[in-house]
C-alpha cells in the first residue's frame, strides 16, 4: 500500500499545536486553496472531531468524501479514515512528537489504495503521492503561520467578532481564521442557515429595509463589515451602479448607526473599501494620505467611508480597509483568469502599463485580524502588497507560474466595447498603492511578492507544471 511521510519541526508547544486542530475553522484552514476539496456544512459540522463530510471535485461532478476520526489523544495523535470516497482505502495519521531542535515535530503519515479500473489509473500512485506531499507541506506552513500570528497578537480567548458578507470569499476565510485563533464568530447574512462553522447562530440583516438586530451585538470585540453589491461580472447599467452605491452606503450607515446605539459597542469597526478610492493615478505612489481620485468607484468608496460617521462619533475605532485585487484560487478575479490563461489565451490588457495593487487572500484576512488587535490602526489602511506591479508584469508572472504563453493582448477599444465603464475602471485604470500604515504598525506579510503568492494560491511549485 503506497504511503507518504512528512515531518516538520515547529517552534510551538505540543499543546498549542494539537489544540489548534480542535477548534472550529481548523479543518477549513487545512484545505489548500488550489485543492478541489471543500468542507461541507452538513452533518457532523466542520470541526476536527467525529465525522467530517468533504466534497471532492467541482460543481455538479463533485464526489462525496466522508471521513471519521478513529483515534484522538490530545497532544499526541489524530487519525482520520475514509468511510466513503474516491479511494478504496485512505488513512491520515498526524502525530505531535517532541522535536529535536524545536519544541514540536509534526509528523504525517498518509496511506491509500486507489480505486480499481479506469478510475484507479487516473489516481496513479505517483500523481497521488505528489499531491499529498504538496498538501501536507502546505498544511504545516499554514499551521506555523497561524500559530505565529496567535503568539504575536494573542489568542482570541472567546472574544466575539461579527462579520457581514460572511459567506463571501473574504468573509468565509476570515471566519475560519478567527475561529482557529480562538475567537467566536457571529456571522451576519441576508439568508442565514443556522450555525455556520461555530457555536453561534447566524443573524439575518436587510440593509434595504434597515433591519439589523442590535441586542445580539452587545459586547462584541469587533465588527467586520464586508457586505456589498458585486462590482464585477456585468456591465454597469444605471440600475447596477445605483445598486452598488446603495448597498455600500446604506449598508455601512446601518451598521455604523446600530453599533453607535449599543450599550456596549465593539472596540473596533473594520469597514471594507478599495484602492478604487484613488482613481486612475498612473505611476504615482499612493499611501493612505493620498487624496481621492475621480470616477464611479472613487465616489462609491468615499461615500461608503463617510457612512461610518455615527460609529466614529461615538468613539468606536474605525478602520477603512482599502483593498487591492485579492488573489485566491477559490474565487474572484484570479479564478476567472485561470480559464483563458490555462489554455494559453492570456495576455496584457490595454497598454499593460496600468498598475495593479494586489494582495494575497491570506494577507488580506491576516491584515484584518492585525487591525482588529492593533489599537493604533484607524482610518484608511491600504490592504495591498508592498510590491504593486504593472498589468504586463502580472501577465508575464502568471504565465510563467502556469507554464503558459501570454501572447494575446486585449485592446482597450475591444474591452471598452464589451464591458463599458466597468472594464475601463476595473481593468484599464490603475493604482500604485502601498501599505504604509500596515507596514509601520508591524504587520508581517506572508506573500509580499506576486510570484510567491500565485504559486501558493495555485499550488505550483517552481520548476514544475503541476
Buried residues in 396-425 as b, exposed as e (16+ CB within 10 A):
bbbbebbebebeebbebeebbeebebbbbb
* Cell numbers describing residue 236: 454597469
Q: For the chain, what percent of residues have pLDDT higher than 90?
A: 66
Query: Residue 360 pLDDT > 60, yes or no?
Result: yes
Query: Residue 232 pLDDT > 80, yes or no?
Result: no
In DSSP terms, 98 is beta-bridged to: 104
Do residues 219 and 274 lie in contact, with contact meaning Cβ atoms separated by under 8 Å?
no
Average pLDDT over residues 202-208: 90
Q: What are the residue ranges spanned by the domains of the chain?
A: 3-153, 160-458
Band (pLDDT 50/70/90 cuts) for residue 415 is low
Average pLDDT over residues 6-30: 93
CATH superfamily, with its number, for domain 160-458: NAD(P)-binding Rossmann-like Domain (3.40.50.720)
Do residues 341 and 404 lie in contact, with contact meaning Cβ atoms separated by under 8 Å?
yes
Do residues 78 and 21 lie in contact, with contact meaning Cβ atoms separated by under 8 Å?
yes
Over residues 19-34, the pLDDT tens digits come to 999 898 999 999 999 9
pLDDT higher for 122 or 149?
149
Do residues 420 and 368 lie in contact, with contact meaning Cβ atoms separated by under 8 Å?
no
Average model confidence (pLDDT) for the chain? Answer: 89
Average pLDDT over residues 62-87: 91
Band (pLDDT 50/70/90 cuts) for residue 48 is very low
Q: Please state whether the predicted TM-score (pTM) of the whole model is above 0.85.
A: yes
Q: Residues 251, 255, 260, CA angle at the centre, nearest 5°?
A: 150
Over residues 298-323, the pLDDT tens digits come to 999 999 999 999 999 999 999 999 99
Say how far apart CA 421 and CA 376 lie, in whole Å: 37
| Residue reference for cell 470516497 | 85
CATH architecture of 3-153: 2-Layer Sandwich (3.30)
pLDDT of residue 1: 77
Say how far apart CA 331 and CA 334 lie, in whole Å: 7
Query: Residue 163 pLDDT > 70, yes or no?
Result: yes
Say how far apart CA 341 and CA 347 lie, in whole Å: 8
Q: Give the alpha-carbon dihedral of 39, 45, 49, 50, to 10 degrees.
A: -100
Amino acid at each position: 500500500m503506497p504511503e507518504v511521510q512528512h515531518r516538520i519541526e515547529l517552534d510551538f508547544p505540543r499543546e498549542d499545536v494539537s489544540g489548534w486542530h480542535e477548534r472550529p475553522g481548523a479543518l477549513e484552514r487545512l484545505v489548500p486553496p488550489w485543492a478541489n476539496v471543500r468542507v461541507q456544512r452538513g452533518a457532523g459540522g466542520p470541526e476536527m472531531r467525529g465525522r467530517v463530510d468533504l466534497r471532492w471535485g467541482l460543481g455538479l461532478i463533485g464526489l462525496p468524501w466522508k471521513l471519521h476520526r478513529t483515534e484522538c489523544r490530545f497532544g499526541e495523535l489524530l487519525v482520520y479514515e475514509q468511510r466513503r470516497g474516491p479511494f478504496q482505502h485512505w488513512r491520515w495519521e498526524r502525530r505531535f512528537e517532541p522535536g529535536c531542535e524545536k519544541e514540536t515535530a509534526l509528523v504525517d503519515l498518509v496511506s491509500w489504495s486507489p480505486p480499481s479500473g479506469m478510475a484507479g489509473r487516473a489516481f496513479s500512485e505517483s500523481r497521488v503521492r505528489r499531491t499529498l506531499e504538496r498538501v501536507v507541506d502546505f498544511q504545516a506552513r499554514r499551521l506555523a503561520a497561524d500559530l505565529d500570528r496567535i503568539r504575536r497578537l494573542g489568542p482570541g480567548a472567546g472574544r466575539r467578532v461579527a462579520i457581514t458578507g460572511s459567506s463571501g470569499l473574504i468573509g468565509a476565510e476570515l471566519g475560519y481564521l478567527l475561529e482557529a485563533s480562538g475567537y467566536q464568530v457571529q456571522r451576519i447574512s441576508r439568508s442565514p442557515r443556522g450555525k455556520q462553522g461555530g457555536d453561534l447562530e447566524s443573524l439575518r440583516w436587510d440593509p434595504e429595509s434597515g433591519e439589523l438586530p442590535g441586542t445580539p451585538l452587545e459586547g462584541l470585540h469587533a465588527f467586520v463589515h464586508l457586505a456589498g453589491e458585486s462590482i464585477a461580472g456585468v456591465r454597469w447599467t444605471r440600475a447596477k451602479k445605483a445598486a452598488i452605491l446603495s448597498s455600500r452606503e446604506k449598508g455601512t450607515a446601518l451598521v455604523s448607526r446600530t453599533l453607535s446605539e449599543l450599550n456596549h459597542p465593539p472596540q473596533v469597526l473594520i469597514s471594507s473599501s478599495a484602492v478604487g478610492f484613488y482613481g486612475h493615478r498612473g505611476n504615482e505612489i499612493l499611501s493612505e494620505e493620498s487624496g481621492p481620485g475621480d470616477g464611479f468607484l472613487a465616489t462609491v468608496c468615499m461615500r461608503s467611508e463617510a457612512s461610518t460617521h455615527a460609529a466614529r462619533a461615538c468613539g468606536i475605532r474605525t478602520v477603512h480597509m482599502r483593498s487591492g485585487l485579492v488573489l485566491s484560487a477559490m474565487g474572484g478575479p484570479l479564478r476567472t483568469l485561470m480559464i483563458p490563461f490555462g489554455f494559453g489565451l492570456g495576455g496584457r490588457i490595454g497598454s499593460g502599463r496600468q498598475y495593479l495593487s494586489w494582495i494575497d487572500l491570506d494577507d488580506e484576512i491576516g491584515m484584518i485580524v492585525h487591525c482588529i488587535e492593533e489599537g493604533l490602526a484607524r482610518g484608511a489602511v491600504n490592504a495591498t502588497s508592498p510590491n504593486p506591479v504593472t498589468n504586463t508584469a502580472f501577465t508575464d508572472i502568471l504565465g510563467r507560474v502556469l507554464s503558459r504563453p501570454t501572447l494575446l493582448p486585449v485592446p482597450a477599444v475591444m474591452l471598452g466595447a464589451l464591458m463599458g465603464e466597468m472594464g475601463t475602471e476595473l481593468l484599464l485604470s490603475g493604482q500604485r498603492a502601498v501599505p504604509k500604515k500596515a507596514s509601520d504598525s508591524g504587520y508581517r506579510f506572508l506573500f509580499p511578492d506576486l510570484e510567491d503568492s500565485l504559486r501558493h494560491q495555485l499550488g505550483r511549485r517552481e520548476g514544475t507544471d503541476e
